[in-house]
């Protein structure tokens, strides 16, 4: 993955893949979400996964539509909610 900071470490790699699969997230979208959990800026995420900040921004827009969220906080809450569904 490349992004395994403190925030994203709250879930195991296996759980991240289960969350991504259940929400139909691509590998790149999962990396973006993990960057959000690590409180990275779009520029920092772009640097870590070696894509342009514009591409990161495009992924954010798609994630917002796909997960029906409006911002980073709602994105994190949606992922945590999905974790709880999968863990129940």
pLDDT tens across 51-84, in order? 999 999 999 999 999 999 999 999 999 999 999 9
For residue 1, being part of any structural domain is answered with: no
For residue 24, being part of any structural domain is answered with: yes
Q: Find where tokens 């949606």 sit.
A: 78
Whole-number Cα distances in Å, 59 to 3, 10, 72, 77, 87: 16, 22, 13, 18, 27
Q: Find where tokens 């772009």 sit.
A: 46
**Residue 83 belongs to a domain with what CATH number?**
1.10.10.10
Number of neighbours of residue 20 by Cβ within 10 angstroms? 19
For residue 26, being part of any structural domain is answered with: yes
Which pTM was predicted? Answer: 0.90
pLDDT tens across 20-34, in order? 999 999 999 999 999
Q: Find where tokens 């973006």 sit.
A: 32
pLDDT at residue 1 greater than cutoff 70: no
Q: Is 33 left (phi over 0), alpha (psi -120 to 50) or beta?
A: alpha
58's tokens:
């495009």
């Amino acid at each position: 993955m490349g992004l395994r900071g403190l925030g994203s470490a709250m879930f195991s790699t296996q759980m991240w893949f289960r969350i991504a699969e259940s929400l139909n997230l691509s590998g790149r979208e999962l990396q973006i979400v993990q960057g959000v959990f690590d409180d990275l800026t779009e520029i920092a995420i772009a640097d870590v996964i070696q894509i342009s900040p514009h591409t990161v921004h495009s992924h954010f827009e798609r994630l917002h539509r796909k997960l029906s969220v409006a911002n980073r906080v709602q994105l994190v809450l949606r992922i945590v909610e999905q974790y709880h569904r999968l863990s129940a």
